[in-house]
Structure 1
């Protein structure tokens, strides 16, 4: 993984580095997923990931942050590099919410298109989109859900630990182990979080109105995605 990141970072020295990094890594991901799922599903799935990342990109740019182009790694996902870090939890939550919001809209588009056309492929893609975006809303950093709920309090991250553990016992995966390793320092931060420290007040301090807005948006997305992922899964099970 580190070697691949180094290779992709080398593109920045080329005239069209950003385009090559995004387009090249997208093609690599499509080829990898196509080997397992077929090229049509692979292309659709990577496009859903792209929409999710573009949601983060647009949100970051709206908040005046310098951000890199999306980069993809097969069977790991995609991300955008924030060259400017958020100066407060409100901005972090806004950027974190942008991805799942855009991804949910794209998944709904696939779902309604599938219902109109009877396409099993689009239905399967909608399920993948609903599930991936729901997974990303686990309230634990570095998930998007952790970035959003941090505006309430980093202590909310502790609620994400049992969710991650339950997922591992339900569907054991090396990816979940990697995520757990990345999340561990943030779990420690949540345990040690002291809201009275000046630096924490400066970063996490925000209005009650903002907390209610982000909290409501987060719960609404989780509820919608959970219902849609369940219902579409049942539809796909009926097709087998």
Structure 2
């Protein structure tokens, strides 16, 4: 019986790895048809690094979390099988993805500048832009999860940003994000925690709010500057 349980556990772990690995390979294949294999592999790996930031942070806070799953042209996500117990935990997990992703993009940038690789610079640019996009202050993006610790009212600032992005570059993904964000926006006008969460969910010390706010703005500024620099130095074609 013990051997049976051990085998079932191993099969379950293998299934999770196959889900992550299989969806990564599918994404690489799809992106390779448009951008070629070298870029496709690097791009998906950068997304993987971002998601593993969330995964590790959730595990650090003792939450049950599933391995990343990838969908081409949508991105990837990890499944939180239990909700954070407070907004600081949610912000911590939300921050971990963009920080890990930015480090991955910065590594690509360093390699690209030191070895004259336009491929690595292009990957760095994509990595910086993806993480910057994810910091738009609206739930369910990472920026919404981070800025919730300041106040859910900050999410209202994300609405004009999404609208501006849609008019600049219409995308079905922006519509999807807007649809997912709509049920969350009512929380911006409520002083109570969402149903199913503790009543003191949003109660955190003022210095914690300030620290997260400063870190958030600093990361946004860094990613914006790096994205601009790479946009200027990459060959235009």
Same fold (TM over 0.5): yes
Secondary structure at the residue paired with 1:19?
helix
Tell me, yes or no, if the aligned pair for 1:134 and 1:226 is still in contact at 8 Å.
Answer: yes
Q: CA distance change for structure 1 residues 201 and 172 in 2, over 3 Å: closer, same or farther?
A: same
Q: Which runs of 5+ in 1 are unaligned?
A: 1-11
Once the two structures are TM-superposed, the CA of residue 15 in structure 1 deviates from its matched residue by 5.5
Once the two structures are TM-superposed, the CA of residue 102 in structure 1 deviates from its matched residue by 0.2
Once the two structures are TM-superposed, the CA of residue 196 in structure 1 deviates from its matched residue by 9.5
Secondary structure at the residue paired with 1:72?
strand
Q: Where has structure 1 moved over 3 Å in runs of 4 or more?
A: 12-15
Does the alignment pair 1:62 with 2:79?
A: no
Does the alignment pair 1:186 with 2:184?
A: yes
| Equivalent residue number for residue 150 of structure 1 | 148
1:175-214 correspondence runs (5 A): 175-191=173-189, 193-194=190-191, 202-214=200-212
- Once residues 49 and 71 of structure 1 are traced to their aligned partners in structure 2, the CA distance between those partners, rounded to angstroms, is 10
| Equivalent residue number for residue 136 of structure 2 | 138
- Once residues 220 and 199 of structure 2 are traced to their aligned partners in structure 1, the CA distance between those partners, rounded to angstroms, is 28
- Once residues 85 and 186 of structure 1 are traced to their aligned partners in structure 2, the CA distance between those partners, rounded to angstroms, is 15
Secondary structure at the residue paired with 1:203?
coil
- Once residues 132 and 91 of structure 1 are traced to their aligned partners in structure 2, the CA distance between those partners, rounded to angstroms, is 23
Once the two structures are TM-superposed, the CA of residue 195 in structure 1 deviates from its matched residue by 5.5
Secondary structure at the residue paired with 1:96?
helix
The number of residue pairs the alignment matches comes to 227
Secondary structure at the residue paired with 1:78?
strand
Once the two structures are TM-superposed, the CA of residue 84 in structure 1 deviates from its matched residue by 1.4
Q: CA distance change for structure 1 residues 14 and 77 in 2, over 3 Å: closer, same or farther?
A: same
TM-score (norm 1): 0.90
- Once residues 193 and 170 of structure 2 are traced to their aligned partners in structure 1, the CA distance between those partners, rounded to angstroms, is 39
Tell me, yes or no, if the aligned pair for 1:194 and 1:200 is still in contact at 8 Å.
Answer: no
Once the two structures are TM-superposed, the CA of residue 190 in structure 1 deviates from its matched residue by 1.2
- Once residues 172 and 196 of structure 1 are traced to their aligned partners in structure 2, the CA distance between those partners, rounded to angstroms, is 34
- Once residues 113 and 221 of structure 1 are traced to their aligned partners in structure 2, the CA distance between those partners, rounded to angstroms, is 21
- Once residues 32 and 152 of structure 2 are traced to their aligned partners in structure 1, the CA distance between those partners, rounded to angstroms, is 39
1:1-240 correspondence runs (5 A): 14=12, 16-191=14-189, 193-194=190-191, 202-236=200-234, 238=235, 240=237
Q: CA distance change for structure 1 residues 100 and 196 in 2, over 3 Å: closer, same or farther?
A: closer
Once the two structures are TM-superposed, the CA of residue 189 in structure 1 deviates from its matched residue by 2.1
- Once residues 109 and 38 of structure 1 are traced to their aligned partners in structure 2, the CA distance between those partners, rounded to angstroms, is 21
Q: CA distance change for structure 1 residues 63 and 196 in 2, over 3 Å: closer, same or farther?
A: closer
TM-score (norm 2): 0.91
